[in-house]
């Protein structure tokens, strides 16, 4: 990849970037004069690249050994990446509504993937990232996957159509991948146009989300699932089995009952789970290629030297850890820990992994407003990450992040909260007062639920208090929420392989006479 190492006209140090090429001091000065940065004509462009369902741990730049992401890795080498970066909900729509507004799902009230033609929508008075930048005369344009419940207010929305995909026929599920071809072409065209105003552009790619449809296509027991010749067949992760399932909360014990995709995979053998990983890596390499195409287009235009690039995901994927596929309900690292990369002129070659702060997608909006010298709502729960990027050590940084769970479609409602500190992950579900505690320093694969064993009582007490206090400060009604679970979805012999028949959403759709894809 050495031919791409000169993405930026000149490799500045970060100090030079901040002093000269970047818009930070200029924007701050403009803001101090009561002008917006864009009106001062000095503000930088921002390009946000979103991958759907991309775990942090699958990227080479975050340590994955298979390393199928040369383009994302190159982007990371040209910037900084946050290590302890989390989604605030491991599901598409609640996560997106959350990060586009900088508000927790309990604030946006978008807590599921449920949609109709008319809603639900975020509160009409809620400020969105797009609306702030639109007001500041940025060219705000969003390409590709939306699923935002109105939180993209302020952006011009360019939806995608399925375009031809040059991929092997043995990967039969490719509707998401085909849309990404179109999204990428639209983004490249936009970048190559002339720009009269600074832009805030979003390339919202579907992949590796196409893995969801792949599970549906390959549901049920298989000896072998055909893969293209020569494709990777990754090993199972060392946290594949949940050996202490009996000590885990009910929503985890019966995830096969509430989650259609896990029900579809419940009778897979170990080899099939490796097939799943092969397919997941396939979809990742597709999206990585598209990230490379978009970056090639960006660096070939003059605006590149004044553009901040953010690469992120709305949530991760089970990746066969704990026998899980896709996402939702659980807060395990594979599903909640996401890539968060900032790159741009001046950050080139820096390649810093910022390990210390606990950060989440709630920090996106304050960070971008800070970068552009624009005013974010004062009461946002997140904070600007720029001090960390500038190598400063901001005081009073919160010692934890929180992720929320409510329901996928409304059929099984089992609210949960994850509170992640620098060394522990504490999870609380209302159903059965289920708790999880993982010592992530010593058990990064979350193999042993210490709460289920009655260990670390003092730590648990402290974390319970932290969560309680957090709900008080953020006015999160969590402890007063209701649980709605039909007992038939908590009844079979323990173990996902023991699931028979449909899952809760499938049974409901069947009763309603609906047929969902795959
Ligand atoms: Zn089940």
Could you tell me which residue, 295 or 518, shows the higher pLDDT? 295
Asked whether the predicted pLDDT for residue 39 surpasses 60, the reply is no
428 Cα–ligand 1 center, Å = 21
Q: Where are the beta strands (DSSP E) in 138-194?
A: 139-144, 156-158
Chain centre distance of CA 372: 23
Asked whether the predicted pLDDT for residue 51 surpasses 80, the reply is yes
Query: How many Å is the Cα radius of gyration of the chain?
Result: 22
420: phi then psi, degrees, rounded to nearest 5: -110, 120
266 Cα–ligand 1 center, Å = 8
72: phi then psi, degrees, rounded to nearest 5: -65, -35
pLDDT band for position 43 (50/70/90)?
low
408 Cα–ligand 1 center, Å = 16
Q: Answer whether 371's CB lies under 8 Å from 386's CB.
A: yes
* Residues less than 5 Å from ion ligand 1, measured at CB: 256-257, 499
**CB-CB neighbours of 103 under 10 Å:** 28
**pLDDT for the residue numbered 40:** 28
**CB-CB neighbours of 8 under 10 Å:** 21
pLDDT tens digit sequence for 274-293: 999 999 999 999 999 999 99
pLDDT band for position 171 (50/70/90)?
confident
Give every CB contact of residue 195 below 8 A, 6+ residues apart in sequence: 45, 139, 303
pLDDT tens digit sequence for 407-426: 999 999 999 999 999 999 99
Give the count of alpha carbons within 13 A of 357, CB side only. Answer: 24
**CB-CB neighbours of 98 under 10 Å:** 34
Cα–Cα distance, 467 to 107 (Å, whole number): 17
What separation in angstroms does the CA of 94 have from each of 333, 392, 503? Answer: 18, 32, 22
497 Cα–ligand 1 center, Å = 8
Instruction: Read off the pLDDT of each residue in 345-366 and give the average, rounded to a whole number.
Output: 86
Give every CB contact of residue 461 below 8 A, 6+ residues apart in sequence: none
pLDDT band for position 35 (50/70/90)?
very low
pLDDT tens digit sequence for 212-228: 999 999 999 999 998 88
489 Cα–ligand 1 center, Å = 6
Cα–Cα distance, 368 to 31 (Å, whole number): 14
Cα–Cα distance, 181 to 178 (Å, whole number): 5
Mean pLDDT of all residues belonging to the chain: 89
> 14-219+253-391: what CATH class?
alpha beta
pLDDT tens digit sequence for 92-121: 999 999 999 999 999 999 999 988 888 899
Q: Answer whether 368's CB lies under 8 Å from 337's CB.
A: no
498 Cα–ligand 1 center, Å = 7
Whether the link from the prior residue into 277 is cis, omega within 30° of 0, is no
335 Cα–ligand 1 center, Å = 20
346 Cα–ligand 1 center, Å = 51
256 Cα–ligand 1 center, Å = 4
pLDDT tens digit sequence for 469-489: 999 999 999 999 999 999 999
pLDDT tens digit sequence for 440-478: 999 999 999 999 898 899 999 999 999 999 999 999 999
Could you tell me which residue, 390 or 356, shows the higher pLDDT? 356
Instruction: Read off the pLDDT of each residue in 24-44 and give the average, rounded to a whole number.
Output: 36
| pTM, to two decimals | 0.91
**pLDDT for the residue numbered 517:** 55
Listed by start position, the domains of the chain span 14-219+253-391
**pLDDT for the residue numbered 116:** 85
**pLDDT for the residue numbered 141:** 98
């Amino acid at each position: 990849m050495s031919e791409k190492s000169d993405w930026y006209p000149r490799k500045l140090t970060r100090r030079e970037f901040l002093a000269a090429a970047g818009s930070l001091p200029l924007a701050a000065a403009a803001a101090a004069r009561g002008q917006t940065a864009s009106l001062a004509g000095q503000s930088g462009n921002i390009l946000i690249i979103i991958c759907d369902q991309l775990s942090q741990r699958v990227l080479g730049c975050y340590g994955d050994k298979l390393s199928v992401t040369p383009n994302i890795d190159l982007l990371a080498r040209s910037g900084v990446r946050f290590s302890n970066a989390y989604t605030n909900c491991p599901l598409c729509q609640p996560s997106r509504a959350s990060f586009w507004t900088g508000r927790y799902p309990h604030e946006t009230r978008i807590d599921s993937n449920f949609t109709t033609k008319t809603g639900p929508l975020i509160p009409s008075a809620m400020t969105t990232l797009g609306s702030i930048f639109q007001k500041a005369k940025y060219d705000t344009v969003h390409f590709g996957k939306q699923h935002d419940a109105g939180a993209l207010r302020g952006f011009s929305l360019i939806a995608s159509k399925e375009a031809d995909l040059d991929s092997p026929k043995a990967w039969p599920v490719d509707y998401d991948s085909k849309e990404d071809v179109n999204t990428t072409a639209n983004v490249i065209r936009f970048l190559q146009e002339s720009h009269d105003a600074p832009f805030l552009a979003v390339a919202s790619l579907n992949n590796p989300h196409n893995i969801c449809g792949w599970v549906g296509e390959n549901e049920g027991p298989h000896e072998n699932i055909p893969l293209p010749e020569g494709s990777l067949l990754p090993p199972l992760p060392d946290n594949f089995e949940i050996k202490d399932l009996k000590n885990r909360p009910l929503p985890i014990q019966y995830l096969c009952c509430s989650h259609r995709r896990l029900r579809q995979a419940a009778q897979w053998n170990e080899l099939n789970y490796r097939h799943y990983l092969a397919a997941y890596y396939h979809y990742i390499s597709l999206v990585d290629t598209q990230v490379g195409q978009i970056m090639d287009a960006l660096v070939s235009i003059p605006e590149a030297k004044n553009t901040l690039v953010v690469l992120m995901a709305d949530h991760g994927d089970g990746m066969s850890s704990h026998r899980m596929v896709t996402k939702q309900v659980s807060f395990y690292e594979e599903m909640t820990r996401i890539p968060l990369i900032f790159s741009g002129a001046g950050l080139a070659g820096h390649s810093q992994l910022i390990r210390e702060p606990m950060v989440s997608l709630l920090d996106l909006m304050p960070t971008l407003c800070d970068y552009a010298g624009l005013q974010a709502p004062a009461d946002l729960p997140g904070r600007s990450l720029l001090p960390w990027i500038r190598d400063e050590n901001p005081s009073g940084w919160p010692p934890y992040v929180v992720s929320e769970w409510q329901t996928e479609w409304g059929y099984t409602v089992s609210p949960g909260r994850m509170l992640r500190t620098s060394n522990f992950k504490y999870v609380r579900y209302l159903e059965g007062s289920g708790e999880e505690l993982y010592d992530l320093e010593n058990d990064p694969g979350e193999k042993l639920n210490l709460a289920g064993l009655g260990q670390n009582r003092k730590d648990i007490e402290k974390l319970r208090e932290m969560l309680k206090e957090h709900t008080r400060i953020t006015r999160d009604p969590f402890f007063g929420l209701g649980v709605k679970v039909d007992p038939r979805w908590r009844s079979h012999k323990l173990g996902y392989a023991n699931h028979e028949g449909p899952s809760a959403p499938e049974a409901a759709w069947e009763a309603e006479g609906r047929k969902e894809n795959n």
